[in-house]
Structure 1
C-alpha cells in the first residue's frame, strides 16, 4: 500500500489565512484508562477565537507511515480556521491498547470519546467534522450512524456502507483471493512495529511485546465468517440507512475498488449528501491518477465552512452528484490521464438513468429483441482473470487491466452490433442469469468490455457471484444438479461513453482467478438464454445530460465565496472558466 504525495508542494498552497501551530503529541484519555495518541494542527488565534475541529482517525501510524501526507493536508485545514486532529486508533501507532480487528464497536466508542474531548477544549467550538480515505472513510460513516451531537458533517473517501458485499474480504460472496490475504498481512506487519519511545517513554518495549503477542492475524476471523453474519452487519451502515442523518460528502474514483457505495449513499442516506466521482485510483483527488486531479482541499473547506461554521458557500446549491464521464481509451496497465468531461445529477436513484436491457443469444450476440431459450455451457478455464488488474489500484504501474482479448478467449462472450451512435453509461450495471450447474458449489464472473474497431478490448466493469448465495448472502445453499436457478449479478459502477463504431461485450465464466477463490470442484455452469437472462445497462440519455464543464468546476455562488475569502486577505484572484 502506497500514498501518492508527488508534486504536493506544487499543487497545495502553503500560505494560509491563519498562522498554524503544531502540537506534535497529546494524549486523549479513554474511560477505561487507555490513552490515544494525537497530533494537532491549530490556528494560533484559536485560543482567543475558538474554531471547529476536523478529525482524521486511522490505524496507519501518524508518526511515520502517514507523516508526509498528514504534513500536507492537516496544515491546510488549520490554515483555513480549523483545529485539524490526527489520532492513532487504539492498538496502532503510538496509541495504547491492542487492535483486535477492523471497525470494532470499541473503535467507534473511542471516536465518540474523542469528540467529547474535543468539545471540552478551550480552542474548539464543539462542532466537529470527520474526514478519511479508506479506513478513515469507513469509520466516519460508522460514527455518524451513532449521531453524536458534536459530529456535524463527514467527508468519506474510497469507503463502503457494506462491509461484507463491498469490501476487501468478499465480493459477491466469493473470497476475494487477490486482496483479503495481503490486506490482513499488511495490517499485521504495521502492528508489529513498536511505538515511538520519544512519545511513550521507557514502556515502549513492554507495550511492543504485548502488541506482538496479542495482535491476531485478522484473516483467520474473516475466513470464519464466509457469509453475511452479524459480524459483518456490525459496522455496515446499510443496515440502518434511516440512522444516516449526518451530512455526508462521499468521494471516489472509477479506477478504485470502492465506488459502488457512492450511488447507494446518494439514494438511501436520509441526511444531506453530495457525491463526487473522478477517474482516480484509491487516493486523494488533489494528487490522484489518472488525472485530471482537482482542487479537492478547497472543496473540503467549502463543505466544512457550510456545516461547521454556518457559512453559505453555495455547495449545497450544487448538483447532488458530480462525475467524470470518461471517454473510451485503448487498454493499458497504467494511465496518467483519462479524457472525459464532468457531468452532473441533481438527484440519484436507480431510476436516474434509462436502463437498457439486452438479451443474450445462443450465437453470442447482445440484442434488444427477445431471444429463444437455449442452454449454453460456459467455458471454464482456471487462468481466466490473470489479466484483470488489481482489485484496489493505488496508481502503481501494472495496476490496471490489460487488453482483454486473452481473457475473452477463456470465457463465453456476447457482443452487441457495432454502435451507430455514442452510448453514455453512468451507474450500476447488472446481469440477470438463469442457470443450472453440475456441482453443489460454483461461482459466476461477469466482465463488461469496450471493444474497439481494431479488436482491442478494454475492461470497463466486472462482478462476481457465489452461486450458493442464490437466495441471499446470509443463507447459502448447496445447488441441486440440473435444477434451474435465477440470480442477479451486480457489476461495478461505471461512468463512460462508448463511441460510435465500438461494440460492448459481456463475458461470463465460472472462474476469475486471482480475484475469486476457486470452487471446490470444477463445475459446468450452464446459462439459459431467453426469459430471465439479460444485461441491464445504466444509459445516460442526452435528454438527461446537464451542463458540462471541461475546465474549472465553479458556480457563481462558489465564485463569490472565493472572491470574498481572497479579498478579505488582500489577495487578487484570476478565475478561468471554460464551458462546452
Structure 2
C-alpha cells in the first residue's frame, strides 16, 4: 500500500494511477431523453412463466445495438400505482430511480421478478434456489437474441438484487461480462441470519413478514408510508393488465413459498435444514458457486459498508476469494447507500461518494466492459477510514503493513498493552437482557432504516467495559479485531457481544464495530473454510457444538466485523461486553440470566487483538 491515496490498476493492459474520484470523474454523456417499457412473460425450460420489463430508450434507431443490464428482483421488478405513472419514465420500483439515468446514457434494462415473487409464477422454496439461478441464465441468453442487444450483459443491485447479480455470473452465459453486487451477504448463516450463531431475530422477522405481504400482492410494511398509499401492487405484464388472470395465478402459486421466519427460528447449526426444503443455509450461500463464478470470468465491482451488517466482510470475501478481475469499494453508508452512516458525522447526511457519483462509477464500469471492450485487470480496493474521513486505494486488504497489537483487560476496568502479572483476578458480570445497540444499528438498516449510533455512554453502564488511557498519537485500526475471552459462566449457553468504541475527550462514546458469538459455537475448526476471511474459523456445525461447562473457565474467541478507523490522539479505546442485544438478537438463554466471571490474570489474560497500521 502507498501512503498516498493512489495505487496502480491495469485497465486494458495499461497501468493507471487511480483515486476514488477516478471511478466517477469521467461521466457518461446523455444520449436519450425518454424511456419506453414493455412487459411480458418468458417461459422457462420447466414451463414456469417469469415476468420481465424491457426498458429501452424511446425512438431507438432500428439498427442501434445496446448493452443490457439486468436486475433480478425479490421485492417486485416494478409497481402498479393508484395514480397515473409518469410518462416517458421507467416504471417505479422499490429502488432509487437509477433506471432512467442508465437508459439516458445508452443502456437497455431488463427487470425481472424472480420465480415465486412479484408477477412471476412458480414457488420460492428458499432464496437463490438452483431453478431461480437457472432462470437468470435463460433470460440472459434470450436477451442476446433480441434485435436491440449488442450481445453484452451486466447485472447490478443492492442486497438480494446484488446477490442475484453475482449469481448471474455463475450461469456460464458468455455474454455476462461484468456484475456489480452491492451490500450483499456472502454467507447467509454468518452474515445475516445468525451472526455468531445468534438468531438475528428482528431482521428475519421483518424480512419474512415483508416477503409474505409482497407474495400476496400487498405493499411491504418496509415501504415508506407514502408508497404504501400510492402502490396498488406489483405491475402486471402488458397482456394481463385488464384481466389480471395471470397475476392472480402467480399469487396463488406463491402461497407455497416457504415462511422464512418459521424456518429460521428452527435453525441452530449451519448444517440444520431450512424448513422442509431439504437444504441448508450453506446451500444457498453464494460461496457455494465460487468455482462457477470464477470460471465465468466476469469482472466484479463490489460495494460494501463498514456500518451495514456484514456487507464489508462480504465485499472482502469476494475480493480475497475470487480470482475474477475486481474493484471493491467499502464506505460508511446505510444499506441502500443513499445516506451516510459514519458515526463521526452528523446523522443521515449525504453518502460519500454521493448517489449520483455512485451511479456514474457504475455506468462507467459497465460501459468499459460492455461497449468499449476495455476490461479491468487485477484487483484493487478503495476503502474509507472512519474518523479521518479519507479514502485509500490498495491492492489488498487488510494491508500488509498492519500488525496486531495485544490490549489486555486490567484492574479497575482498564485496557492496556501491559500483560497482567497477578493471579486469580476476575470481574463478575450479571448479564442484562435490556442492553441494546439501538433500533438504527448495522443490522436494522437492512430493513430501510438509517444507520445512526448515538452516544453509547448510557448503554455502556449496562455493559462490562474496559477503557484505555488517552492515546499518545493517532492510531489507525484497520482489519479484523479479535477478542479472546477467558470466561466462566453460570449457564451452559450464553450469547457474547463485543463492541469496540472510541471515547473522545468530552466523554462521548462512539460505536466503531462489533462481534458476537453463541457460547456453544466456540470451537475453532481445523477444516478450511470455503472462502478467505480474517474471522476465526467457527464451523457452527452440530458436531462441533459444546455446552459451556458451568463455572469452569473456557476460552472464547470472537471476531469483530472488519473496520478502518482513525482513533485520534487524546481519545481512548474501549471494549464493551454484553450478553444481549435486546432489540436485534434472540436472547440466549431466553429463560435465565447468566453470570460471567471474566478472567484477567497471568494464566487467563483476556485481551483484544487490534490490527494497527504501522
TM range (shorter): 0.7 to 0.9
Equivalence for 1:189: 213
2:556 is aligned with 1:487: yes
Which among 369, 379, 389 is matched to residue 307 of structure 1?
A: 369
User: Aligned pair in 2 of structure 1 residues 398, 268: CA closer, same or farther (>3 Å)?
Assistant: closer
2:498 is aligned with 1:446: yes
The superposition leaves residues 301-325 of structure 1 with CA deviations (integer Å, 9 ceiling, x where unpaired) of: 2211232234448x658x7111222
Superposition CA RMSD, Å: 3.0
What 5-or-longer segments of structure 1 have no aligned partner?
1-12, 329-339, 542-580
After the TM superposition, which segments of 4 or more aligned residues of structure 1 sit over 6 Å from their partners? 394-398
Equivalence for 1:155: 180
By relative contact order (CA 8 Å, sep 6+), the higher-ranking structure is 2
Partners of 2:156 and 2:165 within 8 A in 1: yes
Equivalence for 1:526: 597
User: Aligned pair in 2 of structure 1 residues 149, 398: CA closer, same or farther (>3 Å)?
Assistant: closer
SS in 2 for 1:214: coil
Question: What's the CA shift for 1:232?
Answer: 0.9
SS in 2 for 1:172: helix
Equivalence for 1:203: 245
Question: What's the CA shift for 1:409?
Answer: 0.9
Equivalence for 1:180: 204
The superposition leaves residues 338-375 of structure 1 with CA deviations (integer Å, 9 ceiling, x where unpaired) of: xx122221222474633222122243222122224533
Question: What's the CA shift for 1:219?
Answer: 0.8
User: Aligned pair in 2 of structure 1 residues 119, 524: CA closer, same or farther (>3 Å)?
Assistant: same
Equivalence for 2:220: none
Question: What's the CA shift for 1:139?
Answer: 1.8
Matched residues in 2 for 1:298 and 1:159: separation?
A: 20
Which among 200, 213, 217 is matched to residue 259 of structure 2?
A: 217
Partners of 1:387 and 1:404 within 8 A in 2: no
Equivalence for 2:8: none
Which among 405, 411, 429 is matched to residue 378 of structure 1?
A: 429
Matched residues in 2 for 1:350 and 1:111: separation?
A: 36
Partners of 1:255 and 1:280 within 8 A in 2: yes
Matched residues in 1 for 2:165 and 2:61: separation?
A: 25
Equivalence for 1:130: 155
Equivalence for 1:75: 100
Equivalence for 1:171: 195
Equivalence for 1:23: 37
Equivalence for 2:319: 266
Equivalence for 2:532: none
Equivalence for 1:474: 541
User: Aligned pair in 2 of structure 1 residues 496, 195: CA closer, same or farther (>3 Å)?
Assistant: closer
2:390 is aligned with 1:369: no
Matched residues in 2 for 1:290 and 1:215: separation?
A: 38
2:387 is aligned with 1:327: yes
Equivalence for 2:478: 426
Partners of 2:116 and 2:254 within 8 A in 1: no
Question: What's the CA shift for 1:436?
Answer: 2.5
Question: What's the CA shift for 1:213?
Answer: 3.7
Matched residues in 2 for 1:227 and 1:477: separation?
A: 12
Question: What's the CA shift for 1:489?
Answer: 0.9
Q: What is the aligned length?
A: 517
**Comparing 530-539 and 272-281, the one that deviates more:** 530-539
Matched residues in 2 for 1:286 and 1:380: separation?
A: 34
- Taking the TM superposition and a 5 Å limit, the aligned residue runs for 1:398-437 are 399-437=451-489
Matched residues in 1 for 2:248 and 2:35: separation?
A: 33
Matched residues in 1 for 2:157 and 2:339: separation?
A: 14
What 5-or-longer segments of structure 2 have no aligned partner?
1-26, 81-90, 218-232, 272-278, 342-347, 524-538
